Structure 1
Amino acid sequence: MKLHKIFTPVLAALALIAGSCSDSYMEDLNTDPSKANGIDPNAQLTTAQLQTYGDLGMVEIYRNYHYAFSQMLMGCWNTTNYGGRHTIDNNEMCRIWTSLYPNAIKNLTDGIHNSEEEGLTNVNAALRIYRVYMMSLITDVYGDAPFSEAGLGYIAEKFNPRYDTQEEIYGAFFNELTDACGALSLSGDKITGDVIYNGDVNKWKKLANSLRLRFAMRISDVDPDKAKQEFEEALMADGGVFTSATDDALIKYMEVSFSFGQDTYSDYRGNALSKLLFGNDPANNPSYL
């Protein structure tokens, strides 16, 4: 009984203290001031662009399978052992899937959502165009894949995204590219996070239209009428298409020359795909790399 009398005032005091702590105070107390509250969609575009071919592990599939199947490369152990012998190895063949979805695709999808909320029309269009390109790498390798719901786990709680058929994906590509190209405007917001075209809206229009040409050619055998329609419309679309190598969607990495033994060569830092093509022996590589 005495313990009850002693602890009752203490508990009451603690209740008063707890009640005086407002929700805003607790939120401030649990918020790290060194962390940003949001992400600039421009930065998400930059990150996704650099995640395209910058991961050495992801681009191994190009050397191990793609280049070997097409006989573009042969001789190194990886190329000969996997694609050269038509060996199935899911740990190797899944690299594009397991690298692009949790990285670039997630960044692009989130950036599209953020740019819509912030009214950044041009950035939104660039993100959509680049997402189509990245998804084309996935569907061209694996066929049916999540597209319409990909990357929406946090935004829309789509934790088990629907697998779209490749026909549906390509149909969505044409719609996305047409809409995004039409949304790009010289008088709109600046695309500041673009390491490919440095925010040049006209170049992004050309990329969108040229991708339509590419995808039209890819469906020409299965749906020639649709292919013809998309191809002709892309040629006539506002902004035009690629006409020279200066239009290429290319990330220019820093070139650093250094010596290896008696040889001096350039190391293209950051671009893992070029590192694969360059190989391990600088004395036996073409000079243009």
Structure 2
Amino acid sequence: MKNFKILPYTLLLGLFLLAGSCTEEFAEINTDPNNPVTISPALLLPNAIQVSVDRYWGHSTRFERLNIDAAMCWIQHLARNIYINAEGDTYEIPITVSTGTWDNLYNSSLVNLEQVIELAGEGGEFENRNYEGIALVMKAFTFSYLTDAFGPIPYSEALKGAAEESINSPKYDSMEEVYAGVLADLKLANEKLSINGPVVNGDIMFDGDILRWKKFANSLRIKLANRQAVKKPAESRAIMQEILASPETYPIFTGNDDYAELKHANVIGSRNKMFDVFSTRSDWNISTTLVDKLLELDDDRISVYALPLGDGSYKGLPNGLTDAAASTISASTIGQKFLDPEAPSILMTYSELMFILAEAALDGDIAADHMEYFEEGVRGSFAQHGLEMPADYIGKLGSVDKETIMTQKWIALFGQGIEAWTEYRRTGLPQMPTPDPNSIFVNEGVLPTRIEYPPSEYSLNMDNLQGGIQMLGGEDNMRSELWWAE
């Protein structure tokens, strides 16, 4: 009887096992390897980095180029010689600049970076602290870029459209709250990033060099702390002092070999986007403001930033001229370095960090000699372009005050128009010359302080948008000052 009783259970068990096996095989057979349910961080990271970089440095989509069409003209690195009143030089920009910046950074960059953090975080499907750290750095960079361009933005409730408790109409957070969040993320990123940790793939920025990511995280943290220093002095000083006091724990840029840049290949889709724009159009010249300053200082960087005229001289174009007036002036165009399809897109340089520390030292936020950082910043900028700073260059600048530091920083930031624009909006430096008598500016003649929110927010997130505008402390126009303005 025992054998008789055991037999059915054995057969039943076998049937269950067979059924389970068939189910597993069925699932395997019907899983499309070309359409995976979950995408790995290695596939999400490259596009997320690329979009953030392109929207900061430059990209090919006309009427959406905040850096090339707007910021580089507003900060008088470039000037337009045609379409002047339609694409930035007179302080007027199409709303597509706002829409393109907002939509691409949120929908193509940040949403993917957030997914990388979820997948690579503790307990995630692809747990890997280095993916998590890299995504935190790029997320902090991208959110800081957005808030510096617009002001209050969706932050704490953003990127939750696919969450278990989805939020499709996120609230706006103040710039102070956004800064607190990104500064915390950068500190966490430095803790997560492990030089001897797991390997990462898809890192198109530093090719898996985790030390460079740590240096970028800490250098960016110093920059953002310095930017908010007037509003939150004690906290900002503590952040900068913490980093500088422990270089082994908090490494920062130490030279031009390790600053944050994205290198390119001469392949369509991968080329330096400034090459795509400037090599096919001749709408831009170098601004008179920049040319005159470089000639005044006998500064060799002019040979990198600008192409000489036929007689070997350099001449700039005043900003804000009408198309008719600009067409009568022969002026220098952008230098050959920026016409190289393999030239890098730059997010933050060694020289920029040195100027930040020079300012912090001058302001008493760190205990250091501001002149040492200042001279290293100027020297680093020359070296970045393969030039040697003349031995008498610093001496020709006279007494080094905050305007001297910010003027040299403005010169060094050529190409990073958004960064130079942000620093001008923050400090009001360098002082810009009186406009050309033939120039015509809109926006009540005010150099834009921000860009307007995109129309989609008015139609899809109106109630929360009104809260953001209220936190802005002004109207949704290009004249309301941002939180960190001094």
TM-score by length of 2: 0.48
Q: Secondary structure, in 3 states, of the residue corresponding to 1:246?
A: coil
Identity of aligned residues (%): 24
Q: Aligned-pair RMSD on alpha carbons?
A: 2.9
Q: Distance in 1 between matches of 2:170 and 2:189?
A: 23
Q: Distance in 1 between matches of 2:83 and 2:179?
A: 32
Question: Conserved in 2, the CA contact under 8 Å of 1:68 and 1:79?
Answer: no
2:242 aligned with 1:233: yes
Deviation at 1:79, TM superposition (A): 5.3
Q: Distance in 1 between matches of 2:334 and 2:271?
A: 19
Q: Distance in 2 between matches of 1:224 and 1:278?
A: 45
CA deviations over 1:126-176 (Å, ceiling 9, x no partner): 111111111111111001111222222113412122211110000111111
Of stretches 216-225 and 70-79 in structure 1, the one that deviates more from structure 2 is: 70-79
Deviation at 1:30, TM superposition (A): 7.6
Deviation at 1:224, TM superposition (A): 2.0
Question: Conserved in 1, the CA contact under 8 Å of 2:85 and 2:92?
Answer: no
Deviation at 1:72, TM superposition (A): 1.5
Of stretches 71-80 and 216-225 in structure 1, the one that deviates more from structure 2 is: 71-80
Deviation at 1:244, TM superposition (A): 1.3
Which protein has the bigger helix share? Answer: 1
Of stretches 24-33 and 235-244 in structure 1, the one that deviates more from structure 2 is: 24-33
Give the 3 Å change call, closer, same or farther, for CA 79–139 of structure 1 in structure 2.
farther
Counterpart for residue 280 of structure 1: 281
1:230 partner amino acid = I
Which of the residues 118, 127, 130 maps onto 2:135?
127
Which of the residues 154, 164, 172 maps onto 2:181?
172
Q: Secondary structure, in 3 states, of the residue corresponding to 2:271?
A: coil
Question: Conserved in 1, the CA contact under 8 Å of 2:64 and 2:97?
Answer: no
TM-score by length of 1: 0.79
CA deviations over 1:62-112 (Å, ceiling 9, x no partner): 122211221121124355534322225323333211211110111101111
Specify which structure has the bigger relative contact order, considering alpha-carbon pairs within 8 angstroms and separated by 6 or more residues. 2
1:236 partner amino acid = A
Q: Distance in 1 between matches of 2:257 and 2:279?
A: 23
Q: Distance in 2 between matches of 1:192 and 1:151?
A: 24
Q: Distance in 2 between matches of 1:124 and 1:77?
A: 45
Question: Conserved in 2, the CA contact under 8 Å of 1:109 and 1:152?
Answer: no
Q: Map of 1:53-72 to 2, 5 A cutoff?
A: 53-54=53-54, 55-57=59-61, 60-72=65-77
Which of the residues 245, 248, 265 maps onto 2:259?
248
Give the 3 Å change call, closer, same or farther, for CA 76–230 of structure 1 in structure 2.
farther
Q: Map of 1:25-44 to 2, 5 A cutoff?
A: 32-44=32-44
Q: Map of 1:51-200 to 2, 5 A cutoff?
A: 51-54=51-54, 55-57=59-61, 60-78=65-83, 80-87=85-92, 89-116=94-121, 117=124, 118-156=126-164, 157-200=166-209
Q: Distance in 2 between matches of 1:192 and 1:235?
A: 30
Deviation at 1:269, TM superposition (A): 4.5
Counterpart for residue 45 of structure 2: 45
Give the 3 Å change call, closer, same or farther, for CA 252–216 of structure 1 in structure 2.
same
Question: Conserved in 1, the CA contact under 8 Å of 2:226 and 2:236?
Answer: yes
Aligned length: 258
Deviation at 1:56, TM superposition (A): 2.1
Counterpart for residue 211 of structure 2: 202
Q: Distance in 2 between matches of 1:225 and 1:274?
A: 43
Note the residue ranges of structure 1 that are not aligned, 5 or more in a row: 1-21, 257-266
Q: Secondary structure, in 3 states, of the residue corresponding to 1:74?
A: strand
Q: Distance in 1 between matches of 2:336 and 2:136?
A: 36
